[in-house]
Chains A and B, each alone.
Chain A
Amino acid sequence: MDFITQSHYYRVMPMLLEGLVWTLLITGIGLIFGFILGAIFGFARLSKSKIIYGIATVYVEVVRGTPILAQILFIYFGLSDLLGVNIDKITASIIAIAINAGAYIAEIVRGAVYSIDKGQEEAGRSIGLTRNQTMRYIIWPQAFRRMIPPLGNQFVISLKDTSLFSVIAVGELLYMGQQYYGATFAAFEALTMVCIMYLVITVPTAVYLRRVERRLDV
């Protein structure tokens, strides 16, 4: 068994597992806030008010039109500069994921709500439900089901995006791999294991999503 336990493939694992935990934490917490932002700005994008619509559109377009690497550097260095405080790396990463995914999720929310047949709202209103009740009991539950596949897709994208935070030395999965081969020169082994760790999360997610999608189709 020694040849296994002595190998770099094995010895890199404790660091990578620690990195994976951070990757999942940043992705998970970031996406929870991203979902809240996305829901708010998604509905804002459906608003009849020009101002609310305008603000939401600026947010979505700015985020989607700039690279996430610039966004993380902006939040970590730029904002720290501006506010004169040191933002913790993990906090900055979570904010970056939330703001970045929030813009994409806003479009997912907007698209899903928009895709629900207008007749659903009319039917709800015509039995006397208020606008809010119609949204809550009729439109949103149907829209949410349609959002599950694209939200899962966004999870995969955001998870991979966290690897960019290695540039500010966040101890996420890729960074931990880099640390390992920086000290041992075993780049091939370390990066192979890094990729496998990403795939262990992303492939089952993709398979699961395809199943959900098929079920929603019929």
Chain B
Amino acid sequence: MMISVRDLHKSFGSVEVLKGINAEVKEKEVVCVIGPSGSGKSTFLRCLNLLEEVTSGDVLIEGTNLTDPKVNINEVRSRVGMVFQHFNLFPHRTVMENITLGPIKVKGLSKDEAKKVALPLLDKVGLSDKADVYPESLSGGQKQRVAIARSLAMEPRIMLFDEPTSALDPELVGDVLAVMKDLAKEGMTMVVVTHEMGFAREVGDRVLFMDEGIIMEEDIPENLFGNPQNPRTQEFLSKVL
């Protein structure tokens, strides 16, 4: 199992945001997470690489329990890529430097070795000509594709996406989704929080519907979108579809 989550609880102060999440993600599986705003989707995703401290429960990444205090969290994070809604590119570094920073500082590659890793990735996201520009000169869609390349440069085993297209102008969404689709086809294990129901339906192997800090319903896309069982799922889908 790539990811196992058992009875995950997360509170901010006295407010419990995740109220007992159980989930598993198999190798090469693409799991999409949908649900209303504030239901805890981002918090759940961020617990998977400990950007949020877990209050109780277990999160296992390829068998490594993240809640074990002895765990080397930096090593685990280098195996788990994360793509953010607002890209979070490093503005003081060129596209190339954004991508090579991790391989150089974390994996200890030389600059040249890191560039050899980065070039095919830039090609893959369609931005070979942008290696030497700074992020500010890129469109949102280009930024997000650089962010994906930056994560991939660490050769992660798992990729987490938190609404990667929801800060983009509609006409730029397609390029980013296309890159994600390619990744899925190549067999990357992915957890994708998304408002793009079309993407979830087409690319997702499984869809989780979250509401009020728990997973209300999960199923293959055909069933969850075509024949939702839980009334909350039905209500949510009737609003967004």
Contact = CB atoms under 8 A, between A and B. Distances in A.
Interface stretch (A48-56, A101-109, A137-145): A137-145
B84 A125 contact: no
Contacts of A130: 74
Contact of B88 (A122, A141, A145): A122
A168 to B, nearest CB: 44
A128 interface: yes
A142 B49 contact: no
Contacts of B89: 123
Contacts of A123: 82, 84, 88-90, 147, 150
Interface stretch (B100-108, B172-180, B196-204): B100-108
Interface in B23-47: none
Contact of B91 (A126, A128, A137, A142): A142
A117 B88 contact: yes
A112 to B, nearest CB: 13
B86 A127 contact: no
Interface residues of A, number: 18
B80 A126 contact: yes
A129 B51 contact: no
A137 B81 CA distance: 19
Interface residues of B, number: 25
A115 interface: no
B6 interface: no
A127 B92 contact: no
A120 B51 CA distance: 12
Interface string A11-53: 0000000000000000000000000000000000000000000
Interface string B104-127: 011000000000000000000000
Contacts of B154: 127-128
Nearest to A136: B105
A118 B150 CA distance: 18
B186 interface: no
Nearest to B75: A128
B151 interface: yes
B232 interface: no
A152 B88 CA distance: 29
B77 interface: yes
A126 B90 contact: no
B78 interface: yes
B84 to A, nearest CB: 6
Nearest to B80: A126
A127 B101 contact: yes
A133 interface: yes
A123 B153 CA distance: 13
A119 interface: yes
Given A123-B147, A127-B81, 5 more contacts: A117-B88, A123-B84, A127-B106, A142-B90, A145-B92
23 contacts: A119-B84, A119-B88, A123-B84, A123-B88, A123-B90, A123-B150, A125-B51, A125-B74, A126-B49, A126-B80, A127-B81, A127-B151, A128-B75, A128-B77, A128-B78, A128-B106, A128-B154, A129-B101, A133-B105, A137-B101, A137-B105, A142-B91, A142-B92
